Structure 1
């Protein structure tokens, strides 16, 4: 086996873990009601995006689900539990965020480049699955 072949499962676990950590850093401020970067109230920002930009009903409830996805779902991704469905839902979330930022599709200063990249990464993880170093593997559980 080459170095790259041996390193791939470990590096995939690191990638999945890093993705979960990045998602978690967006969900935790919503859960705790603290500021995040330039957003004084991230939960209110999510509610505003869902209600006023996307025009969806039940914005507070949907924002709560987003917060759960970005906290509990992020931890699940990081440890490798139910990776496929969680990553797929995150990919859908990133599509929604990218759509909400249209039709101007800004590329800088809160643009869509990061949701687009995160969406494709989530889609890749959803297709690839948990990997060798995951709780799913230890429990012999695969979704």
Structure 2
């Protein structure tokens, strides 16, 4: 028995092989920039979606839903992580440091928003899928098209 993968369309093997690094980089870039767009408004005090004060919203969620101590300080750390960690993951810098942090953050968001799962009413489908994307990025690392690989220091 062979461990070889048999493709349904064998002629696409070259495309798959050459597109893999680019698709991983595109996923990492999209994920990192998406996360960054949630942190930047918290740091700048700008409105984000329906939230007039996203940092206050995060503080409220941490304090009153998750019941964690030091909610204002944790909210600032989350904002910093989302902003600078998101940019780092987008660039592929310290990817295996930041991506697991995002996976844990998404887990906590799912716990805070659960048990609802609908597309409306603050369901947790978005943090759930983002958490799994973060886990994939954490396991695979920055990839061939990353700052980590460029400097030869992938964790």
TM-score by shorter chain over 0.5: yes
Match of 1:87 in 2: 99
Q: CA deviation at 1:106?
A: 3.6
Match of 1:140 in 2: 152
**C-alpha root-mean-square deviation of aligned residues, in Å?**
1.0
1:33-112 correspondence to structure 2 within 5 Å: 33-102=45-114, 104-109=115-120, 110-112=122-124
Q: What's the TM-score, normalizing by structure 2?
A: 0.89
Q: CA deviation at 1:108?
A: 2.5
Q: What is the aligned residue count?
A: 142
Of 111, 116, 125, 2:137 maps to: 125
Mark the structure with the bigger radius of gyration: 2
Runs of 4+ in 1 over 4 A off after TM superposition: none
Q: CA deviation at 1:11?
A: 1.2
Question: Runs of 5+ in structure 2 lacking a partner?
Answer: 1-12
Matches of 1:44 and 1:66, distance apart in 2: 12
Question: Runs of 5+ in structure 1 lacking a partner?
Answer: none
Q: CA deviation at 1:101?
A: 1.1
Q: Secondary structure at the match of 2:128?
A: helix
